[in-house]
Structure 1
Amino acid sequence: MILFAGISTLSFGQGVTSANIAGLITDKSGEPLIGATVIAIHEPSGSQYGTATREDGRFNIPNVRIGGPYSITVSYVGYNTYQEKNIELSLGQTLQFRAKLGEESSLIEEVTVVSDKGSILSSERTGAGATIKKEMLEAMPTISRGLNDFLRFVPQSRSSSVASTAGSGVSFAGQDSRFNNLTIDGTIFNNSFGLASAPGGQTNSTPISLDAIEEIQVSLAPYDVRQGGFTGAGINAVTRSGTNKTQGSVFFSGRNQDYVGSNAAGTDVVTANFNVKQAGGRLGGAIIKNKLFYFVNYEQELRSDPSSSYLANRGTSGNNVTRVLASDLDALSAFLKTKFNYNTGAYEGFPLATESRKGLAKIDYNINQKNRLSVRFNYLKSFRDVTMSNSGVVSGNRSNNLFAMNFQNANYIINNDLYSGIVELNTILGSKMSNNLQFGYTANRDYRSSGGGVFPLVDILKDGTTYTSFGYEPFTANNILNTDTWQFKDDVTFYAGRHTITAGVNVETFKFDNTFTHTYYGQYVYNSLEDFYAAANGDASITTRRYALTYSALPGHALPTATTRASQPGIYIQDELNMMQDKFKLTYGLRLDMPIFGKTARNNPEVEGFTFQDAENKPLKLSTSKLPGAKILFSPRVGFNWDVKGDRSLQIRGGTGIFSGRPAFVWISNQVGNNGILTGSFTFNDTKNYPFSDNVEKYIPENATTPASYNIAVTDPNFKFPQLLRTNIGVDFKMPFGMVGTLEGIFSKNLNQIYYINANQEKATGSYSGADNRPTFPGLGLTSTAQNNALRIVDKITDAILLTNTNKGYTYSLTAQVQKQFAKNFFLNAAYNFGEAKDLMTAGSIAFSSWRDNPSLLGNNLQQLAFSDNDQRHRIIAGMYYKIPWSKFASTAFNLGLQSGNIGRATYIVNGDLNGDAQTSNDLMYIPTSSSEIQFEQYTVGSGASARTVTVDAQKAAFDKFIASSPYLSDNKGSYATRNGYLLPWLTTVDASITQDISVKVAGQRNTLQFRLDMVNLTNFINSDWGVATVTTTRNPLQFRSRNATTNQPVYRFTEISNALPTNATQTGSSLSDVWQIQLGVRYIFN
């Protein structure tokens, strides 16, 4: 992760697709010239925009194409005509253009022009943000060619843990990455359901080609009320357009295991064979010169990775040879093919494929000087092979490891497809009014498929743990999510003297059809291969270790699809007022949004008859059919920009206001799908009542009924979309040697944030004795049915997860940045950011796990304020870009970027159910003053001749060393670990890119062949000890075993790692990110 030297810290209007020109035309005495003609021409396309000055000499030309160069011509009868050229416009920028015209008889020197060309010291800046132009996208180091490689370069950002690699999110200002609002050409482009941060997230695919993007804008604190739908950042990318000149490019790039380092601070990093190939192209030009333009783009990535390095046992030995006999797997595969005509696929040596294909087509039409129409369509088709889930396994793991191997067709394929279009019309309605109209539609189609035919899932054990698995992956059948998003937006802008008044409406409509049915084709577990063979051959006396099935409980066994509908109409009005001879600009406005949910939640009348309890142990009634009612979200905002000295050498800017975002709609869909009446399910252990059958419908009840027990997810009727109050203050100033400095501060206070409780969990009724005296729940010491009965308020309900709000939590960040543009081919930039983010929890996609997976001390219904998963404490970024033009036809460009800072946070928890709440990985660890303060038990590892005893004394001695090795643990002896309490050590990395251009002119057109090298973690390439992360050895060192009835204290084991008790809390990393990687590419450009 690095910062490229050329990212500008400008921030204008998110969601817009154009720029604006505004100004004042006077005579030499300062008197306004009424009716002067102002014409702006976008030279590459010939697009003309014109207007006349108003009574006060002011003019506005709104919604013009970004980029340039532009020429602006001012004419007035009896006065000199003036023209300024080579003007560039950025996304959302309002160019401030002033001219004093002399009379025709006067000398040309009397003409003066003051134009603000969008520098850092600009009247447009209020809150924090950044603009990334296409030149930066073309030069920055990247091997994934994804948006995140560039979004991470904003000082207030950090990588998100929601997803991984290209599908991962980037969080801003301490907020969840799913609270960003990603738009392309102003239309919604999020993964609104929330299973990833962007379309293509589950397939590790980028949703749009970098070659299609003209400019990206990131807004963290915009005080323009037109911008909504986020509490993190608004991210808007505008696509390229054609010009009068036919221009295009094609490229190819690739990498494999031969271009990866192998030494991470002395640890060998073994990278299995893989292959990545990227290719694409773009083409743009004019259909009708100066009038009608086209742009098209296509890109694909094909990747192949090994499924596993583990091998079946053929009598040989090795670190990757499993206990699973190749002869067993060969015989099993042949039997299944012969007996059931089921093809298992291979069990080793097969690849995992990832493919993505994306394209874009765009038409721009200059209808006339007052109207411009733009139409864009783009698509993404992507898939990724994924190994089967371990969820629901009896013991061990299904995925290939030293003890088990699964067959290829037991894995699954995840598909992320997208189709999106937008129509935009920009209209100038005279000199005092303009209009921007947008209509967009996006269809996301996410679904799973299997390489094998329909067949029950079968897990076969050996010596009590999983040995092999085959059949249909348990979560793949009918796993479908269809998302349809419509957006309508209309902004009308009025120009009245020093006022620019904007009023608008924005309507967003969402529909989600989600089907999720685990073990829909049944799951069988057998204690041995012999048991399975006998059962498959019809022996009804065989005991099935487990049989599980989920079925549709709807009439006729209809597909149990959960449909969620939501819409969010919004209206807004604001005034932009220029005062103090345009030295001070004040922007103030109000935005109103009103989320509305369709009545698609089904009613389970049985639930309405139960009484649950809230987090304060008060009686609570729940309903599966009542989604939150319509509520108006008020978002008032005010921002300012003050040119202190009147010469743009010092400006103070900032603002405050409320920002309203969207939740991940999966949180609402959880209620629609988890109501106890869509599906039924049952699980039986050690049974003879369900002999094996390849007929997946054999045990579906003829008259489907709701199950004997079930879970529900419900939403607080008063639930509100995420909201926060965000205040920003910034100072930009000129420094010696032409440098520009920035000091920035952002503070955000949660008003409505996500919070979950389990309304069916009994409160804590006891506590431990001694130093660790945490509360305990009625389930402590109990198991299975007895524990369930003790913990559940309503015995029939396994859990009742309530989605509600909290106002607890805040974030802040302090940033210092210096930038200098030395020359056209040389740029330097450096920034430091200090931040803090605290909240109560981070929500996942499933209601129960969102409640369960946030460690706590008092119980998960009573979360305490702690560091957020999105906390980014220290971050230093610096970059340099340098281009050497050897001649008119050859140049070399170097790009270096550095990032240094903390790489995240960690939580120390106890392995096991320490407090008796039936959850095994959510109890924060007590950090003893010494090992004598807690109790250990002696245990034996191994068996037979290799058996050895791990004594209590050995555990105490090792645990003391483990605590002493960690500054965090040592400094917090005698207290409880907190969620995300451990700040991981610093990591410094440098990335680099080198491009070599060789050009030649053919028929007057420049043709360029470009060779490119991108290197991630150049630091490690220079020195193998550099660029290597420090990671935790284990985050759950203590395993809870029991409660000592005499002392009323917990008894633990200090868990071995690799057959030894750990004595160091940290170790150096040894993953792919800890070593250097290189990608090579070639590109042909004609322009």
Structure 2
Amino acid sequence: MSYSVKRSRCKQFFRVMRITTLLLFVFIFCMHAENSSSQNVNVTIKRSNTELENVLNDIEKQTDYLFIYNKFVNVDRKVSVNLKKASLEEVLANLFAGTDVKYSVDGSYILLSAGGTTTTIPLSAQQGKTVSGVITDINGEPIIGANVVEKGSESVGTVTDVDGKFTLALDKPTATLVVSYIGYLTKEVPVGSQSVLKIILSEDTQNLEEVVVIGYGSVKKSDLTGAVGSIQVDKVQGISVKSVDQMLQGRTSGLYMVQNSGMPGASSTVRIRGGNSISGGNEPLYIIDGMPVYPSADASQTALSPLNSIPTSDIESIEVLKDASSTAIYGSRGANGVIIVTTKKGKSGKTSVAFDAYWGIQNIYKKYDLLDSRSFERLANEALVNSGGAAIYDESLIPATTDWQDLTSNKNALTQNYQLTVSGGNDKTTFLTSFNYFDQEGVIKASEMKKYAFRANIDHKISSTINLGLSLTMTKVDNNRVGNSVLQSRLTTPPNLPVMQDDGSYTFSDNNGVITFDNPVGVINEKVDWHTSFRSLNNAFVEWNIIKGLKFKSSFGIDIDYATNKSYNPRSVYSGSQKSGEAKKVSNNTYTWINENILTYTNTWGVHSFTGMVGYTQQQSTYDGFNAGSYGFLNDNLQMNNLGSGTTYTAPGSEVKKWALNSYLARVNYTVNNKYLLTASIRADGSSRFGSDNRWGYFPSAALAWRASEEPFIKDLNIFSNLKPRVSFGITGNQDGIGTYPAYALLGSNGYVAGGDKVTGYYPSQVANTNLKWETTSQFDAGIDFGFFNNRLTVVIDGYYKKTRDLLLKVKVPGSSGFSSGLKNIGEVENKGFELAINATPIEGDFTWNTSLNLTYNKNKVLDLGDVSFIYPSQPGQDETGIHLGRIIQVGQPLGTFYGYVYDGLFSTTDDIASSAQPTAKPGDIRYKDISGTDGVPDGVINDLDRTIIGCAQPKLFGGFNNTFSYKNFDLNVNTIFTIGNDVYNGTRVTMENMQGSTNMFASTMNYWTPDNQNAPLPRPLRSKAVMRVSNQYVENGSYLRFQNITLGYNVPAEFLNFTKYVSGLRVYASLQNFFTITSYSGDNPEVSKYGQDNLGAGYDAFSYPFAKSVLFGLNVKF
């Protein structure tokens, strides 16, 4: 059934994959063919006025020969040579013509002598005595290009290859090697009697200059003036993380992430320093390899993170830009923060191959305890009798119980991931390609995601001044989903009903015909809901180093995003039977291109350092959507593959939308004496989305920092290895989440049938507003960076305040306009808080302990809503009659506020009722507090005026605590995340404790009120919906501490891999994911957001897809 749905798309995708792979490997083959041909005795050298030693090194690199010479040969002599594919003899004759240097070839050695002396091959070389080994860092990763020199003999030396290995012929049998590499402490190693060495270099934490990627460039971390969080990707890649966005959770301060659902492929909600907008977007801007990439919307309009298109093993670094000085360079897209992802690239040297894989099983984290058939019938009878009806079940019988939870659960759901990476290159061209396959079965049957990804990064030097680069990513995702009907009915379907009737049909009504429902087993077995997406990210650049310090880079990127949904609701399930089967096809295609042109100048004179950047960018995006459907099928055989076989067609829909953005930008970085730092930037954005009066927006920023630790009076304290206070201010904007044409007058269409013909008419559907403009966010940040004990302990503290003005909200307009509402810039929201990030290495050696802790406190508040003090989110504008999921937007309160009645226990006696505001109640009913009337004081009536603030979904404090322990070849990673002070509205409980007796409920509902059980927590059973009021009865503490990942790994020693010359490294590991959560929340998962990235629907749980715990086993192999 699913094969027919996916067949054509799969064929098309794999055809593209095959062609691309073939072309890529032809390119790699040609490149290596060129590299191999350079290993003969013909050499090409072009040098002008350079030392002779440099030319000799060039010859050694292009041949198998090694030069040996004595002190009488002047290798510092200036020479010029320009020979192409010349013989070795011709080159040597050219170099030494007119000098007293004599040369001779002896085996693989070229001997040079001068001044009447004779040069001979060293004894160690004559005897073939060599020393070899491997150089790694403390984590066992090979160090490529490390210098290995024999102490006291500067002419005897080599560098390590792509695997960190070296081989060196020694002058002295008992030599000492001097090993060095940039960023690491130089180490001297006596050879002694050893012939094979394993050398470990430690980082020079005092002098190591970490580079941080920022918008349109990079800076040394010591020169950073803004608030930027860097994810330690190498730490995360040692564990099995299913998606890139999960790599972010709990890893840096200021970033709050919620995995909205346990469904495979589900989106996450990401907030950086709180939510700024009410109706606009709150997700950060994502930059992948310099290219802005937007969340894709699948055919069901579910937002999907752009990070899902990148396999986790392909990530080189992730930076989170938080303050305005860091994000203002992105202007109208920077208000919500920016996440910059840089993928891995190839390195020159031998081609390397890596294979990463993991396998595992998932199971539902929590199974609910529900009523069995006997308890269900007893409670149902009680509800009917209490409502004035008669009992319908014979309680003397013991009916069979159907465990709908068990029948719909996918036990030991398989998860598997495979990635093959090939990289390498030469001095001109480097490449990296990867192939990834990921398959995750859901813990609910019929839910699954399969992802196929191909990625390539290629860089090529045309000349010493011009570089080219190409980045290509193709991702195909097949996703089968189960809808809300299954997630709810697997819990609520009465347990006394069988799955199938005697005639072989699925049961979809109770024995008395009181309720009808979608049989969850039937829906799982018969319904089709297949989503397919294909995304291709392509970015090419040319970089021209015009003169020293002046560089121009131009890039062009294309983002192609296709999404389709094919669904069929069959006649065999209740909802499908109402229309005799219903089929739908939906297609959403988005095409985005961007061109960026950046000119950068860098110069240093005296104590001054300067980097200036100017740029121009342009971007355009086109969306093309289509949907069609039909119902009324004779049978279910054709499903959605022939819409024309349905007897009734739903009206097809289609639309095309475009938007464009033109921008000018500039930034200056200025440093004095390597201590006083200034960063200033400005960006001008022109957007097609806004009115003619406000089409352009301007977004400036400035930041100052002082490297106080470089001051002599601070150095003399011998306390700080780093001390840097900093301050910044800037303005950013937001244009997301408000549609494509919010400022324009639009026309809609409608029609009617007259005389058998359809007549179509057009009408104004949206009022124009030429004054519409950006939401603007101003942000002030003050921070300080500490480093102690050569930065083995670092502490970063930030405090911030940001205010968003000119919120884009729908407001009421005069009825004479013909419209009920329109979009307008009104309202303000603020976020203020502080962040703390601590990184430490308390123990270092054979046993090493690395630990990090990050904490964030953020307080969000609505400051202004124009002419009103509150808005109900369910209504456009200021309509005060509706309520949406118990939500309210109110001045003085944070976004995500719960609003409802206050639960005041249960009535026990008629006297209690007589003196209450609920005179029609009976003993055992819920009592609500009478809070207010029209004059603000209790009025003896329970109505809408008695609703109040009952909770908030936003945490007061959140963060992560991560630890890595390593002992020799073993490593243990323990990652925890936590929130404090957030509430969850448990909408599942509202239904599962409704006490109506028509659907199944929690087993705890048997402890309900009766005259003999007046202290019971739940009201008497009743077929009234009054017990389902939104109240604080269902608001629970959502704080939690979760052990997100526990991974134990083992690096197989090199000596155990000597049986094969192909494997250079092997690591095996086992992981427990989401196995332990400490929380008082009674539901499945306190980390939940039923309505996805909607800022107003956060913390709402109503039959959400179950959370999963996983056991995984993996390996990393290097060849």
Counterpart of 2:740 (choices 656, 665, 668) is 668
The residue identity in structure 1 corresponding to 2:269 is G
Residue in 1 aligned with 2:773?
Answer: 720
Residue in 2 aligned with 1:993?
Answer: 1047
Kindly indicate whether residue 656 of structure 2 is the aligned counterpart of residue 563 of structure 1: yes
Correspondence list, 1:614-625, <5 A: none
Kindly indicate whether residue 312 of structure 2 is the aligned counterpart of residue 210 of structure 1: yes
CA contact (8 A) 1:169 1:178 kept: no
How big is each residue's C-alpha offset from its partner over 1:909-935, in whole Å with a ceiling of 9 and x where there is no partner?
A: 9999xxxxxxxx9xxxxxxxxxxxxxx
Q: Give the match's secondary structure for 1:429.
A: strand
Residue in 1 aligned with 2:590?
Answer: 482
Kindly indicate whether residue 1115 of structure 2 is the aligned counterpart of residue 1082 of structure 1: yes
Distance (whole Å) between structure 2 residues aligned to residue 512 and residue 189 of structure 1: 14
Kindly indicate whether residue 868 of structure 2 is the aligned counterpart of residue 868 of structure 1: no
The 3 A distance-change label for structure 1 pair 420 and 273 is: same
CA contact (8 A) 2:423 2:432 kept: yes
Correspondence list, 1:740-779, <5 A: 740-757=794-811, 759=813
The 3 A distance-change label for structure 1 pair 940 and 490 is: closer
Residue in 2 aligned with 1:403?
Answer: 517
Distance (whole Å) between structure 1 residues aligned to residue 343 and residue 755 of structure 2: 51
Q: CA deviation at 1:281?
A: 2.5
CA contact (8 A) 1:250 1:279 kept: no
Distance (whole Å) between structure 2 residues aligned to residue 432 and residue 1070 of structure 1: 56
Counterpart of 1:125 (choices 221, 224, 231) is 224
Q: CA deviation at 1:364?
A: 1.2
Residue in 2 aligned with 1:299?
Answer: 436
CA contact (8 A) 2:595 2:619 kept: yes
Kindly indicate whether residue 261 of structure 2 is the aligned counterpart of residue 144 of structure 1: no
Distance (whole Å) between structure 1 residues aligned to residue 530 and residue 839 of structure 2: 46
Structure number with larger C-alpha Rg? 2
Residue in 1 aligned with 2:912?
Answer: none
Kindly indicate whether residue 275 of structure 2 is the aligned counterpart of residue 175 of structure 1: yes
How big is each residue's C-alpha offset from its partner over 1:172-203, in whole Å with a ceiling of 9 and x where there is no partner?
A: 1113775311121111222266999998559x
The residue identity in structure 2 corresponding to 1:743 is I
Residue in 2 aligned with 1:595?
Answer: 687
Counterpart of 2:1038 (choices 951, 967, 984) is 984
Q: CA deviation at 1:742?
A: 2.0
Correspondence list, 1:431-450, <5 A: 431-450=548-567
How big is each residue's C-alpha offset from its partner over 1:301-324, in whole Å with a ceiling of 9 and x where there is no partner?
A: 22344766xxxxxxxxxxxxxxxx
Deviation larger for 143-152 or 264-273: 264-273
Percent identity between matched residues is 10
Distance (whole Å) between structure 2 residues aligned to residue 170 and residue 977 of structure 1: 28
How big is each residue's C-alpha offset from its partner over 1:573-622, in whole Å with a ceiling of 9 and x where there is no partner?
A: 2222213x22110111221111124xxxxxxxxxxxxxxxxxxxxxxxxx
Distance (whole Å) between structure 1 residues aligned to residue 1047 and residue 1081 of structure 2: 22
How big is each residue's C-alpha offset from its partner over 1:743-771, in whole Å with a ceiling of 9 and x where there is no partner?
A: 211222102434234658x8xxxxxxxxx
Q: Give the match's secondary structure for 1:158.
A: strand
Q: CA deviation at 1:217?
A: 1.4
More helix by share: 2
Counterpart of 1:651 (choices 724, 737, 745) is 724
Distance (whole Å) between structure 2 residues aligned to residue 174 and residue 959 of structure 1: 42
The 3 A distance-change label for structure 1 pair 639 and 841 is: same
Q: CA deviation at 1:478?
A: 3.8
Q: CA deviation at 1:365?
A: 1.1
The residue identity in structure 1 corresponding to 2:861 is K
Kindly indicate whether residue 833 of structure 2 is the aligned counterpart of residue 823 of structure 1: no
Q: CA deviation at 1:440?
A: 1.0
CA contact (8 A) 1:713 1:800 kept: no
CA contact (8 A) 1:721 1:752 kept: yes
Distance (whole Å) between structure 2 residues aligned to residue 962 and residue 939 of structure 1: 8
Kindly indicate whether residue 416 of structure 2 is the aligned counterpart of residue 278 of structure 1: yes
The residue identity in structure 1 corresponding to 2:434 is N
The 3 A distance-change label for structure 1 pair 273 and 671 is: farther
Q: Give the match's secondary structure for 1:245.
A: strand
Residue in 2 aligned with 1:191?
Answer: 295
CA contact (8 A) 1:872 1:902 kept: yes
Q: CA deviation at 1:153?
A: 2.0
The residue identity in structure 2 corresponding to 1:639 is A
Counterpart of 1:360 (choices 455, 472, 483) is 455
Residue in 2 aligned with 1:878?
Answer: 961
Distance (whole Å) between structure 1 residues aligned to residue 1042 and residue 825 of structure 2: 38
Q: CA deviation at 1:570?
A: 1.2
Kindly indicate whether residue 339 of structure 2 is the aligned counterpart of residue 235 of structure 1: yes
Distance (whole Å) between structure 2 residues aligned to residue 979 and residue 855 of structure 1: 28
Q: CA deviation at 1:118?
A: 2.5
Q: CA deviation at 1:468?
A: 6.1
How big is each residue's C-alpha offset from its partner over 1:787-829, in whole Å with a ceiling of 9 and x where there is no partner?
A: xxxxxx89xx8x8553333341111221223211343743111
Kindly indicate whether residue 809 of structure 2 is the aligned counterpart of residue 812 of structure 1: no
Distance (whole Å) between structure 2 residues aligned to residue 200 and residue 151 of structure 1: 17
The 3 A distance-change label for structure 1 pair 236 and 1067 is: closer
Q: CA deviation at 1:206?
A: 2.3
Counterpart of 1:705 (choices 757, 760, 767) is 760
User: Gapped runs of 5+ residues in structure 1?
Assistant: 1-34, 48-66, 74-82, 90-111, 309-350, 530-546, 553-559, 598-625, 683-698, 763-792, 843-847, 886-890, 913-920, 922-937, 944-949, 964-974, 1021-1025, 1035-1064
Counterpart of 1:507 (choices 610, 617, 634) is 617
Q: Give the match's secondary structure for 1:179.
A: coil
The residue identity in structure 2 corresponding to 1:283 is T
Q: CA deviation at 1:741?
A: 1.9
Q: Give the match's secondary structure for 1:594.
A: strand
Residue in 2 aligned with 1:86?
Answer: 181
Q: CA deviation at 1:129?
A: 2.6
Q: CA deviation at 1:233?
A: 2.1
The residue identity in structure 1 corresponding to 2:254 is Q
The residue identity in structure 2 corresponding to 1:727 is F
Using structure 2 for the length normalisation, give the TM-score.
Answer: 0.56
The residue identity in structure 2 corresponding to 1:588 is A
Residue in 1 aligned with 2:217?
Answer: none
Deviation larger for 273-282 or 636-645: 273-282
The 3 A distance-change label for structure 1 pair 507 and 496 is: same
CA contact (8 A) 2:627 2:654 kept: no
Q: CA deviation at 1:382?
A: 0.8
Q: CA deviation at 1:1031?
A: 4.5
Counterpart of 1:635 (choices 699, 708, 729) is 699
Distance (whole Å) between structure 2 residues aligned to residue 198 and residue 1070 of structure 1: 15
Distance (whole Å) between structure 2 residues aligned to residue 425 and residue 214 of structure 1: 21
How big is each residue's C-alpha offset from its partner over 1:671-702, in whole Å with a ceiling of 9 and x where there is no partner?
A: 9998421x6589xxxxxxxxxxxxxxxx9964
Distance (whole Å) between structure 1 residues aligned to residue 609 and residue 853 of structure 2: 37
User: Gapped runs of 5+ residues in structure 2?
Assistant: 1-48, 63-141, 149-177, 185-203, 213-219, 372-402, 494-505, 510-515, 637-646, 716-720, 866-870, 897-952, 1000-1005, 1020-1028, 1087-1098
CA contact (8 A) 2:360 2:416 kept: no
Distance (whole Å) between structure 1 residues aligned to residue 830 and residue 243 of structure 2: 33
Distance (whole Å) between structure 1 residues aligned to residue 832 and residue 726 of structure 2: 17
Q: Give the match's secondary structure for 2:825.
A: strand
Q: CA deviation at 1:232?
A: 1.9
